[in-house]
Structure 1
Amino acid sequence: MVKSNIRKMLNMTERLSYKVLTPKQREKIKNSLTDKQKYYLKKILLSGKWQRSEVNQVKHRLYNLGFTERGLKELEELCNREDEPYLNRLARWELALWHANQYDKKHARMCLDLLTKVLDDEVDLNRKRQAAIMQAECYEILGEVDRAKQALAPFLKEEEQHPDVLLAAANLEDSVTERLKWANQALKLYGTSEVLLDLKKGKEPYDCLSSVGKKVSSSSAEAPKVSVIIPVYNAEDGVGTSLTSMLTQTWKNLEIVVVDDCSQDNTVEVVERYIKQDERVKLIKAKKNGGAYAARNLALQEVTGEFVTIHDADDWSHVEKIERQVRHLLENPDVVGNTSEQARATEDLKFYRRGKPGTYIFSNMSSFLFRREVVLEKLGYWDTVRFAADSEFIRRIKKIFGEKSIVALPTGPLSFQRQTATSLTGNSAFGYHGFKMGVRREYEEGHDYVHENSDQLYYSFPQKERPFAVPEPMWPEREEKVDGYRVFDVLIGHDFRLTDDSITAVIAEIEWLKQQQLKVGLMQLFQYEVSPDKKVNARIREILDGNLVQMVVYGEKIQCKQLIIKHPPSLEVWQKYLPEVKSEEVHVVVSKDDREQEKGQSFDIPTCEKHVDQYFGQKATWHPLNAESRSILSTESSSMDPRDWKVENIISESRANRDSK
Structure 2
Amino acid sequence: MELPAAVRQALAAARKRSIETPELALNHAVELDNHLYKAGWRAPLTYAARGEAVPGTPPFSRDTGAVHASKRHMGILHQADQLARQHEALQGIALAFMHAHGTEVPALNLLYANQALEVESLWLRFINKYLAYLSESETQEKAPYQLDLEPGLEPRFQRLRSAHLEHLPRHGQGPLISVLMPVYNAETTLHLAVRSILEQTWQSLELLLIDDASTDASRVIAESLQQQDPRVRVLTLRTNGGPYVAKNVGLVHARGQYLTVHDADDWAFPTRLADQILPLINAPDGEPRVTMGRMLRMQENGRVTRFRDPDWIAEDGVLRLCFPSLLFERNYFEQRLGAWDSVRVGADAEILARIRRYTPQCLRVIERPLMLQLDASQSLTTNDATYLDERGVAPIRRDYQQAWESWHNDQAELPRLQFPLDPRPFQAPAAICSHRLGADALLERLIPT
Query: Per the shorter chain, which TM-score range?
Result: 0.7 to 0.9
What SS does the aligned partner of 1:409 have?
Answer: strand
Q: 1:477 to 1:23 in 2, by over 3 A?
A: farther
What SS does the aligned partner of 1:424 have?
Answer: coil
Bigger shift: 299-308 or 431-440?
431-440
Match of 1:34 in 2: none
Q: 1:185 aligns with which of 83, 106, 129?
A: 129
8 A contact 1:177–1:197 mirrored in 2: no
Deviation string 1:407-429 (CA, Å, 9 cap, x unpaired) is: 22211x33111012212111233
Q: Which runs of structure 1 show a deviation greater than 6 angstroms over 4 or more consecutive aligned residues? A: 21-27, 158-161
Deviation string 1:456-485 (CA, Å, 9 cap, x unpaired) is: 822111222111121111121379xxxxxx
8 A contact 1:217–1:252 mirrored in 2: yes
Q: 1:252 aligns with which of 178, 185, 203?
A: 203
Match of 2:149 in 1: 197
What SS does the aligned partner of 1:426 have?
Answer: coil
Match of 2:387 in 1: 431
Deviation string 1:21-73 (CA, Å, 9 cap, x unpaired) is: 9999989xxxxxxxxxxxxxxxxxxxxxxxxxxxxxxxxxxxxxxxxxxxxxx
Partners of 1:124 and 1:254 lie apart in 2 by 38
Alignment length, in residue pairs? 361
Partners of 1:124 and 1:328 lie apart in 2 by 26
Partners of 1:476 and 1:143 lie apart in 2 by 40
Structure with the bigger RCO (C-alpha within 8 Å, sep 6+) is 2
Partners of 1:25 and 1:352 lie apart in 2 by 26
Partners of 2:107 and 2:382 lie apart in 1 by 21
Partners of 2:405 and 2:225 lie apart in 1 by 40
Q: CA deviation at 1:176?
A: 2.9
Match of 2:334 in 1: 376
Q: 1:436 to 1:210 in 2, by over 3 A?
A: same
Partners of 1:399 and 1:136 lie apart in 2 by 35
Whether 2:227 is the aligned partner of 1:283: answer no
Deviation string 1:73-111 (CA, Å, 9 cap, x unpaired) is: xxxxxxxxxxxxxxxxxxxxxxxxxxxxxxxxxxxxxxx
Match of 1:409 in 2: 366
Whether 2:223 is the aligned partner of 1:266: answer no
8 A contact 1:24–1:410 mirrored in 2: no
Match of 2:256 in 1: 305
Match of 2:378 in 1: 422
Match of 1:171 in 2: 114
8 A contact 1:343–1:351 mirrored in 2: yes
Partners of 1:129 and 1:398 lie apart in 2 by 27
Q: 1:340 aligns with which of 293, 297, 301?
A: 293
Structure 1 segment 609-620 matched on structure 2, within 5 A: none
Task: Let me know the Cα RMSD of the aligned residues.
Answer: 3.1
- Higher-Rg member (1/2): 1
Q: CA deviation at 1:138?
A: 4.8
Q: 1:145 to 1:460 in 2, by over 3 A?
A: closer
What SS does the aligned partner of 2:111 have?
Answer: helix
Q: CA deviation at 1:179?
A: 1.4
Identity %: 26
Partners of 2:431 and 2:296 lie apart in 1 by 27
Partners of 1:217 and 1:124 lie apart in 2 by 35
Partners of 1:326 and 1:23 lie apart in 2 by 25
Give, as a single letter, the amino acid of the residue that structure 2 aligns with 1:419. Answer: D
Normalised to the residue count of structure 1, the TM-score between the two structures is 0.50
Match of 1:133 in 2: 77
Match of 1:314 in 2: 265
What SS does the aligned partner of 1:228 have?
Answer: strand
Whether 2:321 is the aligned partner of 1:363: answer yes
Q: 1:469 to 1:425 in 2, by over 3 A?
A: same
Deviation string 1:343-395 (CA, Å, 9 cap, x unpaired) is: 11000101002543672211000111110112202221111111100121122
Deviation string 1:264-286 (CA, Å, 9 cap, x unpaired) is: 11101111121111111111111
Partners of 1:272 and 1:335 lie apart in 2 by 36
Structure 1 segment 4-83 matched on structure 2, within 5 A: none
Partners of 2:319 and 2:259 lie apart in 1 by 23
Partners of 1:269 and 1:474 lie apart in 2 by 28
Q: CA deviation at 1:438?
A: 1.8
Q: 1:450 aligns with which of 403, 407, 419?
A: 407
Q: CA deviation at 1:131?
A: 5.2
Give, as a single letter, the amino acid of the residue that structure 1 aligns with 2:353. Answer: R
Q: 2:427 aligns with which of 459, 469, 474?
A: 469
8 A contact 2:68–2:102 mirrored in 1: no
Structure 1 unaligned residues grouped into runs of 5+: 1-17, 28-122, 480-661
What SS does the aligned partner of 2:238 have?
Answer: coil
What SS does the aligned partner of 1:359 have?
Answer: coil
Partners of 2:335 and 2:194 lie apart in 1 by 29
8 A contact 1:155–1:161 mirrored in 2: no
What SS does the aligned partner of 2:180 have?
Answer: strand
